[in-house]
Amino acid sequence: MHDDELDPEFIQQAADFCSYIFTNSKVKSLSGGIHVNGPRLETLVMTYVDAISSGDLPCMENAVLALAQIENSAAVQKAIAHYDQQMAQKVKLPTETLQELLDLHMASEKEASEVFMKNSFKDVGHLFQKELAIENSAAVQKAVAHYDRQMGNINASIKLAISAMNFSSKEKGTSVERQDQEEGCGPAEVPAQLAKRRDDFCKENMKASSDRCSALLKDIFYPLEEDIKQGIYSKPGGYRLLMQTMNELKKKYLQEPRKGIQSEEVLQTYLRSKESVIDAVLQTDQTLTKREKLIEVQRVKAESAEAAAKMLEEMQKKKEQMMEEEEKSYQEHVKQLTEKMEQERAQLMVEQERALALKLEVYNGITLSLKQEQALLLKEGFQNESRQLQREIENLKNNMAGSRKKCILI
């Protein structure tokens, strides 16, 4: 029907009703002060009506819990989407240090948790909030395990390098060392959304760093590679010239900015790949005595062991940073959960006080009415009826006292 087909009186009544709702009526809310907007009201009504249609006993509490499941699942997705957005805006890979990435993750995770808190309600047992915390904790644990594996591999590298100092430079220990370092690097599956995103950022950061460092090494050491192919160093004095050139190129590489967390590891991998070439140049250099060659072999192996030890120290530092990150994340989640619970408790107290005030208002009205009726009965000589009203008044007082006690206990 068109508006002009409706009864004018009905239209006026509808307008008055809407005006009252818009100007005087308070926003409808659930227990805990949760405002019921259009989509929430639709879900509540549909759940309630479906229960009636299916022949079940309709229960508003069940409808609210069903709504909470939907809203909290959506809140988790909003939180994760916010985390993704913040990390995409703030993170520029590769980060110079692991701590830089951890700090950005921590800030984004905190904001994501706040988004969840804002959009969730009736998270019984705070299961959805804990899910976010557990997912993040799992990611941290996985990263720590990854660094533990790397540290174990580096330890093996140190042992190989030290033992090689006692043998000829023709011993082929580097290929075994490299193979050992590559083992066990595949991360385990973590079936958690936030954990997966955090882990993806860590992997992307390492890959971005490795790619940049590899590109830098290829560009910086290209002239050296060409000289080796042309046999420039296969002559008397070639070994010292080769080492001088390599040291200059290493220095140039180390001066390049934003290489990321894989800078040292990629460099050492490249240098190990050149050990056979260095050894060949050393052995063919006729200007060096046998003793000088042996000393030089020991020096190279000692430098290799020192570099591996430095990498081990860096891995230990990264592991400690990851553990500190886990503790900070845990404490932040505890803080947010505590604040959320306090807010819910305060809101519940406000609701209880408001409900009690309404009860008192009704009580006072009924009491006044009963007393007036009692006085009238006494005046007219109805003693029994008056005593019955007095008992009703006392029962009403007791009920109100019980209501107040329950409010205080809650």
Q: What is the pLDDT of residues 285-314, one digit of tens each?
A: 878 778 888 888 888 888 888 888 887 888
84-98, 225-239, 301-315: lowest mean pLDDT where? 301-315
Is 349 part of any domain? Answer: yes
* 198 confidence band (pLDDT: 50, 70, 90): confident
Cβ 297 vs Cβ 245: under 8 Å: no
Higher pLDDT, 326 or 313: 313
User: Do the domain assignments include residue 362?
Assistant: yes
Asked if residue 94 has a cis previous peptide bond (ω within 30° of 0), the answer is: yes
Helix axis angle for 60-90 and 98-119, nearest 10°, is: 150
Supply the pLDDT for residue 263. 92
Give the chain's domain count.
1
Residue 97 lies in a domain: no
| pLDDT value for 410 | 37
Which amino acid, 388?
Q
Q: Answer yes or no: is pLDDT of 12 > 80.
A: yes
pLDDT of residue 147: 45
Q: What is the pLDDT of residues 378-403, one digit of tens each?
A: 666 666 666 676 777 777 777 766 65
At 29-81, the pLDDT tens digits run 776 667 777 787 788 888 888 888 887 777 777 778 888 888 888 888 888 89
pLDDT digits 0-9 by tens, 358-383: 878 887 887 788 777 767 766 666 66
Residue 136 located in a structural domain: no
- Under DSSP, is residue 404 helix (H, G, I), strand (E, B) or coil? helix
Write down the pLDDT at residue 407.
44
367 in any annotated domain: yes
Domain assignment of residue 298, yes or no = no
Residue 279 has pLDDT above 80, yes or no: yes
Q: DSSP secondary-structure letter at 187?
A: P
Answer whether residue 231 is part of any domain.
no
Phi/psi at 161 (5° precision): -65, -40
Per DSSP, helices labelled H in 221-289 are: 222-229, 238-254, 263-273, 275-284
Q: Which token pair is 334?
A: 């505890």
Pick the closest to residue 151 from 302, 271, 313 (CA basis): 313
On the CB side of 71, CA atoms within 13 Å amount to 26
Q: What is the pTM of this model?
A: 0.59
Q: Give the HSE-up count for residue 15: Cα atoms under 13 Å, Cβ half-sphere.
A: 8
pLDDT band at 23 (very low <50, low <70, confident <90, very high): confident
Q: What is the pLDDT of residue 215?
A: 96
- 329-333 long-range contacts, Cβ below 8 Å, gap at least 24? 329/106, 329/109, 329/133, 329/136, 329/137, 329/140, 330/133, 330/137, 332/106, 332/109, 332/110, 332/113, 333/113, 333/129, 333/130, 333/132, 333/133
Is the residue at 378 inside a domain? Answer: yes
Residue 390 is part of which domain span?
344-409
In terms of phi and psi (left: phi > 0; alpha: psi -120 to 50; beta: otherwise), the region of 153 is alpha
Determine the Cα–Cα distance for residues 134 and 140; give it in Å rounded to an integer. Answer: 10
